[in-house]
Amino acid sequence: MDVMYLDNAATTQTHPTVVECMIKSFKNEYANPSSLYDMGLTNEKMIKRAKSTLAGQIHCHPEEIIFTSGGTEGDNFLIKGIIEKQREDRLKASRIITTKIEHPAVKEIFKLYESYGIDVVWLPVKSDGFVDMDVLQKAVTPNTLLVSIIGVNNEIGTIQPLQEIGEIVKQRSPDCFFHSDYVQGFMKEPIDVKKCQLDGLTVCGHKINGPKGIGAVYLKEGKNIKPLMLGGGQENGLRSGTENIQGIVGLEAAIKIWENPDVMKKIKSLRDYVASELIKIGDVKINGPIDACPSVMSVSIKGIRGEVLLHSLEARGVYISTGSACSSHKKEKNTVLKAINLDRDYIEGTIRISFSALTSCAEVKKAVLIIKEEVEKLRAFLNR
Amino acid sequence: MDVMYLDNAATTQTHPTVVECMIKSFKNEYANPSSLYDMGLTNEKMIKRAKSTLAGQIHCHPEEIIFTSGGTEGDNFLIKGIIEKQREDRLKASRIITTKIEHPAVKEIFKLYESYGIDVVWLPVKSDGFVDMDVLQKAVTPNTLLVSIIGVNNEIGTIQPLQEIGEIVKQRSPDCFFHSDYVQGFMKEPIDVKKCQLDGLTVCGHKINGPKGIGAVYLKEGKNIKPLMLGGGQENGLRSGTENIQGIVGLEAAIKIWENPDVMKKIKSLRDYVASELIKIGDVKINGPIDACPSVMSVSIKGIRGEVLLHSLEARGVYISTGSACSSHKKEKNTVLKAINLDRDYIEGTIRISFSALTSCAEVKKAVLIIKEEVEKLRAFLNR
């Protein structure tokens, strides 16, 4: 059976070109970059080159890039790193701010610190997922230590106006650390970390057809944070551990694929096609704003249960999700959909469809037909 | 020029068979193991199978295995996880114990907690690198919270008697968490974590011809520790982040290569050959005990400087090191050699030669000839 994989916001297939680059690297670039000899130095240079490639995409200095094992490490490293750098007495008098629609990696860290008695503000969002600027303005106080806002939401694709947010944050609390989990936005929605006045940004490889187990953070020069991992002192002491050279090579190769504007152009046309076709079913809502990031779409189909549809689609080779894969372990479900105040009828019937550089028009067309058929079957069954 | 790579204690070349397994996995096993559909569940099963393979090697239950991004993460996760689980008042009254010959990943964590005012005991070692059991016996007090001992030293190969150590630790402080950094010992020196009464063990992939960026820890069932990374709740909430499936596949494939007893048999014969040849040079010491782990050897050559020899060997294609790659970022050098009380003359002239499953007899023979020639040249030059 053909596989129509449309759950690319959960993870993507590693691109064959990325795998090719990694195979070559496995063969030649194995020496430890911390070694004193040429083979090690060559690999250190290669890592620097990859940092330049990444820095070019987000408009920072290559030395502001630190490689991690993925998005979760990046969020933990930056957020914990800022908070745990503070003296406890200062921390107890500080505020930290995030939104109600964060990825679990950010949400769980904030919940931890909230349990320690730190003042946490969970910003509400409007029905299209945007942070309310008036609420933000009031929330950011001079003692606000950290603001972390998901740049592109992983379920409904809302692209937050990070530049506008950055202005408010820095105006109200100039020393506040402004962070964004940009795992879903990286290479999909251009970003300039300097213009946005960001101090930290989290990205990862496996959402852009790169390998799993590799990610990176941008950490603004001069920002002093506590390392999550101590040891050999790699990454200027900020992230110890032998560098994952092949992961880094793979991440760089993935960036080179996505920097071709045709990739997002194709994804946008696929997204528009799916939206226009599914809306025809009737009693269907596309969640999020009209200008959401095209790589991920949230579709609510009244009268069915998303999980039932997921399994009936799976039986026909179409792979979608009902929400964040990283929430499947959690008791709390649908926090994003609740935050945008979606009707309960629609929440139950929500699926997430997401695209990558490897998604083809043919598979999407076939998948849309199958989705329509399965929705019709499920609705007919429920109305008997 | 032929490459004779003999710095396998720093890192190894990923075995072609491992790369093959990963290539297949990249193609087919890309779905997120947290997904609700079959493709995700298949990958979850594959991860469980890899845990069984690993558990079989160290004699624990598969559910006691947690995958990490490598040895450094493993050490940070387990050691910090135990310490930070304690209430601060209890912690201030606790003792933690390690040795003077730990890898920087362990050493730096202990130094951090020492700076916080926690009572740290740095166990001295004897001239062959063994922990003195009498000193250990006296050091472990009922309020000792954690003992972390490197199982196989990364420079001189000393294999600590972990079973004997475990008995002393548990007898003196039954609730004490007994941990070992086993990155250099894994698949080289058999271990039974239950017999050793270990509560935690750190291993990684890239020292056994597996990929970089993957490791694992054993955490004894029932031991409650604080996660280093919060998020999607993977690994029973203990290690969030999308699983590095291809890294896990690669690690499992590497274990399967090393479980063939011929690998260590060959390495032992290579080690014995190198030792017997280099000793002939004169004024040469092989550091560590006679029954050191054969995969790593420390050789001290009087009258030369290790780093100079390293570069003259490099020019002829022979790659060795002067010590731990992870110490090359540090100001403190040669801590292991100082801990075993090696004469300064010898410390300066110390090199580390280390082997992997891919090391061939031919390359070792050629390398030995070159080492002899270069030592002779350097000594002649210095004696002019």
Per-residue pLDDT of chain A (384 residues; tens, 9 = 90+): 899 999 999 999 999 999 999 999 999 999 999 999 999 999 999 999 999 999 999 999 999 999 999 999 999 999 999 999 988 778 888 999 999 999 999 999 999 999 999 999 999 999 999 999 999 999 999 999 999 999 999 999 999 999 999 999 999 999 999 999 999 999 999 999 999 999 999 999 999 999 999 999 999 999 999 999 999 999 999 999 999 999 999 999 999 999 999 999 999 999 999 999 999 999 999 999 999 999 999 999 999 999 999 999 999 999 999 977 666 666 677 899 999 999 998 999 999 999 999 999 999 999 999 999 999 999 998 877
Q: Report residue A115 as tokens.
A: 């349990």
Q: Does A247 touch chain B (CB under 8 A)?
A: yes
Cα–Cα separations (whole angstroms), residue B376 to A287, B302, B366: 75, 12, 16
CB distance B37–A233 less than 8 Å?
Answer: no
Rounded CA separation A288/B77 (Å): 38
Say which amino acid occupies A302.
K
Q: Is B326 a catalytic residue?
A: yes
Q: Does B205 touch chain A (CB under 8 A)?
A: no
pLDDT at site A148:
98
Fold annotation for A16-258: Aspartate Aminotransferase; domain 2 (3.40.640)
Rounded CA separation B60/B56 (Å): 7
Q: Does B211 touch chain A (CB under 8 A)?
A: yes
Which whole number is the average pLDDT over B330-349? 88
Helix (H) or strand (E) run with residue A200 in it: strand A200-204
Cβ atoms B100, B123 nearer than 8 A: yes
pLDDT tens track for B65-96: 999 999 999 999 999 999 999 887 788 889 99
Exposed / middle / buried, residue A261 (Cβ in 10 Å: 0-12, 13-18, 19+) = exposed
Q: Does B308 touch chain A (CB under 8 A)?
A: no
- Please list, in sequence order, all residues whose beta carbon lies within 8 angstroms of the beta carbon of residue A216, skipping any fewer than 6 positions away: A54, A65, A66, A67, A68, A74, A203, A204, A251
Task: Please report which confidence band the pLDDT of residue B297 belongs to, taking 50, 70 and 90 as the band edges.
Answer: very high
CB distance B240–A72 less than 8 Å?
Answer: yes
pLDDT at site A326:
64
From chain B, pick out residues whose CB is under 8 angstroms from the CB of A245.
212
Q: Which among B34, B70, B325 is the nearest to A326, CB-wise?
A: B34
pLDDT tens track for B14-44: 999 999 999 999 999 999 999 999 999 999 9
CB distance A26–B214 less than 8 Å?
Answer: no
Which whole number is the average pLDDT over B327-343? 82
Q: Give backbone dihedrals phi and psi of B166, rounded to 5 degrees, phi first.
A: -55, -40
Report the share of chain B in percent with pLDDT over 70: 98
Single out the residue of A99, A172, A180 nearest to residue A137, CA to CA.
Answer: A172
From chain B, pick out residues whose CB is under 8 angstroms from the CB of A330.
232-233
Nearest chain A residue to B67 by CA distance is A213
CB distance B232–A14 less than 8 Å?
Answer: no
pLDDT at site B198:
98
From chain A, pick out residues whose CB is under 8 angstroms from the CB of B210.
none
Single out the residue of B327, B194, B370, B267 nearest to residue B8, CA to CA.
Answer: B267
pLDDT tens track for B111-146: 999 999 999 999 999 999 999 999 999 999 999 999
Flag whether the pTM goes above 0.90: yes
Q: Report residue B60 as tokens.
A: 């624990």
- Please list, in sequence order, all residues whose beta carbon lies within 8 angstroms of the beta carbon of residue A151, skipping any fewer than 6 positions away: A159, A160, A162, A180, A181, A182, A184, A185, A189, A191, A201
Single out the residue of A38, A67, A66, A39 nearest to residue A247, CA to CA.
Answer: A67
Rounded CA separation B62/B46 (Å): 12
Q: Domain residue spans in chain B?
A: 4-13+261-383, 16-258
Burial B345-375, CB ≥16 within 10 A → b, else e: ebbbbbbbbbbbbbbeeebbebbbebbeebb
Size of interface A-B (CB pairs under 8 A): 251
Cα–Cα separations (whole angstroms), residue B217 to B54, B214, B246: 10, 11, 17
Say which amino acid occupies B230.
L
Rounded CA separation B53/B59 (Å): 10
Reduced to 3 states, what is the DSSP secondary structure of residue A334?
A: coil
CB distance B246–A7 less than 8 Å?
Answer: no
CATH node for B4-13+261-383: 3.90.1150.10
Task: Please report which confidence band the pLDDT of residue B238 belongs to, taking 50, 70 and 90 as the band edges.
Answer: very high
Cα–Cα separations (whole angstroms), residue B40 to A7, A205, B43: 11, 19, 5
CB distance A108–B72 less than 8 Å?
Answer: no
Single out the residue of B51, B63, B20 nearest to residue B255, CA to CA.
Answer: B51
Q: Report residue B228 as tokens.
A: 């280093």
Chain Cα centroid distance, residue A307? 23
pLDDT tens track for B239-293: 999 999 999 999 999 999 999 999 999 999 999 999 999 999 999 999 999 999 9
Exposed / middle / buried, residue B48 (Cβ in 10 Å: 0-12, 13-18, 19+) = middle
One fold for A4-13+261-383 and A16-258: no
Rounded CA separation A166/A177 (Å): 10
Rounded CA separation A323/A9 (Å): 9
Cβ atoms A143, A174 nearer than 8 A: no
Q: Does B315 touch chain A (CB under 8 A)?
A: no
Cβ atoms B278, B299 nearer than 8 A: yes
Rounded CA separation B217/B200 (Å): 7
Q: Does B35 touch chain A (CB under 8 A)?
A: yes
Rounded CA separation B152/B9 (Å): 11
Cα–Cα separations (whole angstroms), residue A299 to A277, A284, A335, A349, B156: 11, 7, 15, 8, 60
Q: Give backbone dihedrals phi and psi of B127, rounded to 5 degrees, phi first.
A: -65, -20
Distance from the B171 Cα atom to the nearest Cα atom in chain A, whole angstroms: 30
Q: Report residue A316 as tokens.
A: 């026909």
pLDDT at site B327:
67
Residue B189 pLDDT more than 80? Answer: yes
pLDDT at site A325:
67
Rounded CA separation A353/A310 (Å): 11
Helix axes A71-83, A104-115, angle to 10 degrees: 30
Cβ atoms A105, B240 nearer than 8 A: yes
Cβ atoms B141, B117 nearer than 8 A: no
From chain A, pick out residues whose CB is under 8 angstroms from the CB of B7.
31-32, 35, 37
Instruction: Detail the DSSP E strand segments found in chain B.
Output: 4-5, 65-68, 95-99, 119-123, 144-148, 177-181, 200-204, 215-219, 284-286, 296-301, 318-319, 350-354
CB distance B72–A242 less than 8 Å?
Answer: yes
pLDDT at site B333:
77
Residue B345 pLDDT more than 70? Answer: yes
Nearest chain B residue to A78 by CA distance is B229
Residue B328 pLDDT more than 70? Answer: no
CB distance A314–B242 less than 8 Å?
Answer: no
Q: Which among B7, B32, B73 is the nearest to A241, CB-wise?
A: B73
Chain Cα centroid distance, residue A223? 23
Cα–Cα separations (whole angstroms), residue A56 to A162, A182, A255: 18, 16, 10
Task: Please report which confidence band the pLDDT of residue B317 belongs to, taking 50, 70 and 90 as the band edges.
Answer: very high
Sign of CA dihedral B209, B210, B212, B216: negative
Average pLDDT score, chain B: 95
Nearest chain A residue to B7 by CA distance is A31
pLDDT at site B331:
64
ipTM over 0.85: yes
Q: Which among A3, A31, A325 is the nearest to B35, CB-wise?
A: A325
Q: Which residues of A are catalytic?
A: 326
Q: Does B183 touch chain A (CB under 8 A)?
A: no
